[in-house]
Amino acid sequence: MTTKRGHNARRPETARLSKDEDLEKSRKRCDRATLTTDQGVPIPHTDDSLKVGARGPTLLEDFHLREKVTRFDHERIPERVVHARGSGAHGVFRLHESLSDLTTAELFCDTSLETPVFVRFSTVQGARGSADTVRDVRGFATKFYTRQGNFDLVGNNMPVFFVQDGIKFPDFVHAVKPEPQHEMPGGASAHDSFWDFCGLVPESAHMVMWLMSDRAIPRSFANMEGFGVHTFRLIDAKGRSHLVKFHWKPVLGVHSLAWDEAQKIAGKDADFNRRDLWESIEAGLFFEYDLGVQLVDEQTAADIGVDLLDVTKIVPEEIAPVRRVGRMTLDRNPDNFFAETEQVAFCVQNVVPGIGFTDDPMMTARLFSYLDTQLTRLGGPNHAQLPINRPLAPVHNHQQDGFGNQQVPVTVANYFPNSLGGGCPFLAKTGGYVDFPEVVEGKKTRERSPSFADHFTQAAMFFHSMSAPEKEHIVSAYSFELSKVVRREVRERYVNEILANVDAELAASVASAVGVRLAAKGAPTPPKLTSPALSMESSTKGSVRGRRVAVLAAPGVDDGQVDAVFAALSNGGARPEIVSTALGPVGSREATKTLFNTSSVLWDAVYVPGGAKSVEALRARADARTFIREAFGHAKPIGGTGEGAELVLAAIAEDVRPGAAGPEASLPGVVLARDSQTATFPTAFVEAVARHRFWSRTASGS
């Protein structure tokens, strides 16, 4: 007699163990396991690369570092291991202020030049098919095609990183990626392995604070800062070195999504940021960023307890101001996504004369890792010959053959020196790249410099620099993420070993939300430092350029009111569209979206014009009232004129906070006008849209 089994049936001996049994079995297998290399060589230390002295350069002979990073680089074929999901655009960089007193890099010296660029924005954790609006770090990589060769500024939208030494980078990425036993969750960090790692690696505390902030869910790539992360060198004509950090400052300011909104957008339009980039450029609303240089010296940094080689730290802008020296404009979409956005290869080692490196142990690993990864992802060593990677500067060398070679060399000599080829190509007599002759001395060692040891002061500074709504959002983010962690001990460790060392009230709030006990022992409290530049509230406001405004209307709408608001918004560079009960004519305009195929989360603001028949049709629709109410809950600007004002008040009545005095109460960001007031409405509504959010209006958007 046989028994039929279902598709998912298992034999008893292979049945899945419970989580606790599975964990215990795994631990028993590891009781006597010693960490080794792939050749079985025991490894006593895997947290620091081999350096010349604690703050010296990393040594190429570190076989453990090279093996660990090489194996990591080649884990994914052909998708990028990290930053797999990306969007790109072409543009130009124009220098406004010459830095010839600091560097010989021509693109930073000659203000008459227009340097072509290609920029790729990306998420870090998710695969190519993941959503745009997940909570994650965003990559911000720029390729400058200069006359001296390509310069790649490979950065993120956050100025710090999770780990201090590149040898820990594979560990971090393994921890943040979907858990290996079931490949979940995709595109998210709310799981056990990530928080287990971060709870055991306190140097990550500062970066995790950024990740839990609204910076991790940008409204648009146009509203996102970029940072080179590392400390670089600018080298002048006399060979003098100047330490610098690179910043991209969005002209339209830094703005975010609400967390509830970001989650809903992932289901409504997973391509939200990508679509916004493409459609904005197609509409002539180009993305603009100012390039800033933050010149710093080691003594100034040391005086505030910052080691410039430590990528988990910043130098506050109040101490070392960011000097804006040029502007980048992204004004052309790619012709082919695969050929350009997918095949573009950024590499930290791609610098030009006048730009150099420091001994940052995270940078050293990236100098090796990026090129190594591209050998697999792009099929070999000739990826620089692909059109998107090809420099404008002429290329002459003795590299040859290999996969993907597109050149047909005709020289009889492929070596240097040679006489058969007339000695060609010749060494550069002037203008060549010269490494900065930094003096280094010390013993070979695997250790961390004591100057890297403070992991909590800057995490606390970031939190204390936030506005009240931003702090609420951070508490909510920690609470959400840690609530997804199954293992209680992981939650307890992070709250008690990390958050309690950052801020006691933050730790207490999160502990209460995720069901763990806050340890009775008092953690040392970091000094309450602040840096106003860290808060998005200090960001530029006042422009509606690129903002998408939903105009809820149906046949019978008051055309005059619609025309006045369309004109005011369009003149400012906003993108108003009619959202109606069906596609087709609505007054003198055309409805391009309907209540069936769009949602308030995809818009920056909502306007409801008057017209008795139009408002009557909308009032009969529950989804129209939900559209308005949800936008109100997400703290967005909302406008209404004539009968539309009454519909707005009716839709948000349940969400108006107690104490508001009736329907005419003052509600920040809600702009209403009766028929006699509609002439002044467009200006007032545009001003509200330019503010972006009104977090103080209601708690429901947090």
pLDDT, tens only, 629-646: 999 999 999 999 999 999
User: Residue 294, Cα to own-chain centre: how many angstroms?
Assistant: 20
Give me the pLDDT at residue 34, please: 78
Which runs of E-coded beta strand occur in 251-336? 287-296, 323-332
pLDDT higher than threshold 60 for residue 5: no
What per-residue confidence (pLDDT) applies to 658?
57
pLDDT-wise least confident of 452-456, 496-500, 693-697:
693-697
> Across the strands, what pairs with 144?
117, 151
Is the pLDDT score of 12 beyond 50? Answer: no
β 241-250/287-296 pair status: antiparallel
Q: How confident is the model at residue 67 (pLDDT cuts 50, 70, 90)?
A: confident
| Number of separate helices (H) and strands (E) present in the chain | 18, 19
383 or 475: which leads in pLDDT: 475
Q: Round to the nearest angstrom and report the end-to-end CA distance of the chain.
A: 61
As a whole number of angstroms, the distance between CA 532 and CA 160 comes to 17
DSSP secondary structure string, 82-121?
SS-SEEEEEEEEEESS--TTT---GGGT-TT-EEEEEEEE
pLDDT recorded at residue 665: 52
Q: Which residues contact 219 (CB under 8 A, 6 or more apart)?
A: 255, 256, 257, 604, 692
Is the N-terminal amide bond of 425 cis, ω within 30° of 0? yes
Which of the pair, 64 or 663, is modelled with greater confidence?
A: 64
To the nearest whole number, what is the mean pLDDT of the chain? 91
% pLDDT > 70, the chain: 93
Name every residue whose Cβ is closer than 8 Å to that of residue 145 and which is 6 or more positions away in sequence: 115, 116, 117, 118, 391, 392
- How far apart CA 81 and CA 98 sit, in angstroms, is 38
**Per-residue pLDDT tens over the stretch 99-120:** 999 999 999 999 999 999 999 9
State the Cα–Cα distance between residues 371 and 192, nearest whole angstrom: 31
Please, what is the angle between helix 612-619 and helix 643-652, to 10°?
Answer: 20
Q: List the one residue out of 173, 164, 159 whose CA is nearest residue 201.
A: 164
Element (H, E) at 671: strand 670-673
675 closest CA partner among 615, 589, 586, 598: 615
How distant, in Å, are the alpha carbons of 144, 403, 488, 625 from that of 675? 54, 71, 59, 21
pLDDT band of residue 6 (cuts 50, 70, 90) is: very low
What is each CA distance from 383 to 73, 117, 118, 293, in whole angstroms? Answer: 16, 18, 16, 30
pLDDT at 523 (0 to 100): 63
Could you tell me which CATH class the domain 51-173+216-385 is placed in? mainly beta
Which range, of 340-344, 426-430, 627-631, 696-700, averages the lowest pLDDT? 696-700
Lowest mean pLDDT among 5-14, 183-192, 207-216: 5-14
Amino acid at the residue 223: N
String of DSSP letters for 343-393: T----TT---TTEE----HHHHHHHHHHHHHHHHHTTSTTGGGSTTT--SS
**Of 308, 161, 322, which Cα lies nearest the Cα of 249?**
322
Angle of the 468-483 helix axis to the 504-514 helix axis, nearest 10: 40
Q: Which helix (H) or strand (E) holds 641?
A: strand 638-641
Lowest mean pLDDT among 434-443, 445-454, 481-490, 538-547: 538-547
Would you say 513 and 477 are in contact if contact means Cβ atoms under 8 Å apart?
no
The label of the residue with tokens 């467009």 reads: 682
Maximum CA extent, the chain: 92
Of the candidates 391, 299, 311, 314, the one whose C-alpha atom is nearest the C-alpha of residue 345 is: 391
Q: What is the pLDDT of residue 23?
A: 63
Tokens of 382: 């000739």
Q: How confident is the model at residue 405 (pLDDT cuts 50, 70, 90)?
A: confident
Give residue for tokens 């550069």.
428
- The pLDDT value given to residue 4: 34
SS3 681: helix
Distance CA 540, CA 533 (A): 11
Under a CB-based contact definition with an 8 Å cutoff, are residues 89 and 63 in contact? no
Query: Looking at domain 548-701, which of 3.40.50.880, 3.30.70.260, 3.40.50.920, 3.90.1150.10 is its CATH number?
Result: 3.40.50.880
- Asked if residue 332 lies in contact with residue 92, where contact means CB atoms within 8 angstroms, the answer is no
Q: How open is the CA angle 546-158-263, to the nearest 5 degrees?
A: 60
pLDDT higher than threshold 80 for residue 244: yes
DSSP class of residue 494?
Answer: I
User: How high is the pLDDT of residue 31?
Assistant: 60
Classify residue 42 by its DSSP letter: B
Dist CA 306 CA 314 (whole Å): 7
Residues 6+ apart with CB under 8 A from 18: none
**Nearest-5° angle of CA 502, CA 504, CA 509?**
110
Q: Are 188 and 179 in contact (CB under 8 A)?
A: no
pLDDT class of 380 with cuts at 50, 70, 90 = confident
User: Is the per-residue pLDDT at 698 higher than 70?
Assistant: no
The tens digit of pLDDT for each residue in 559-569 reads 999 999 999 99
Q: Is the pLDDT of residue 13 over 70?
A: no
The strand pairing partners of 578, in sequence order, are 551, 591
Residue bearing tokens 């539309």: 644
Q: CA-based Rg of the chain, rounded to a whole angstrom?
A: 28
SS (H, E, C) 511-545: HHHHCCCCCCCCCCCCCCCCCHHHCHHHCCCCCCC
Q: Which residue has the higher pLDDT, 494 or 20?
A: 494
**What is the pLDDT, as a whole number, of residue 27?**
62
Beta bridge partners of 51: 58, 445
Q: Would you name the residues annotated as active-site residues?
A: 83, 156
The two three-digit tokens of residue 621, written as one number? 């629709």
Q: Place 22 in a pLDDT band, splitting at 50, 70 and 90.
A: low
Q: What is the pLDDT of residue 265?
A: 97
**Residue-wise pLDDT tens digits, 643-658:** 999 999 999 998 876 5
Return the closest-CA partner of residue 381 out of 372, 369, 394, 392. 372
pLDDT digits (tens, 9 = 90+) for 144-178: 999 999 999 999 999 999 999 999 999 999 999 99
CA dihedral sign, ordered 225, 221, 219, 342: negative
Q: What predicted TM-score, i.e. pTM, was given to this entire model?
A: 0.90
pLDDT digits (tens, 9 = 90+) for 593-625: 999 999 999 999 999 999 999 999 999 999 999
State the pLDDT at residue 507.
96
Residue 372 has pLDDT above 70, yes or no: yes
Bridge partner list, 58: 51
Within 13 Å, how many C-alpha atoms sit on residue 234's CB side? 23
CA 133/CA 36 separation, integer angstroms: 39
Give per-residue pLDDT as tens, 189-201.
999 999 999 999 9
Q: Given a cut of 90, is residue 495 above it in pLDDT? A: yes
- Looking at the DSSP bridge assignments, the partners of residue 406 are none
What is the reported pLDDT for 8? Answer: 36
The residue ranking higher by pLDDT, 370 or 197, is 197
Which residue is associated with the tokens 């002037």?
Answer: 430
pLDDT higher than 60, residue 386? yes
Mean pLDDT value of segment 399-417: 86
Query: Which of 303-317, 400-414, 501-515, 582-596 is the least confident region?
Result: 400-414
The set of residues, in sequence order, having a beta carbon less than 8 Å from that of 307 and lying 6+ positions away, is 55, 301, 313, 449, 451, 452
In the chain, where the domains are located: 51-173+216-385, 548-701
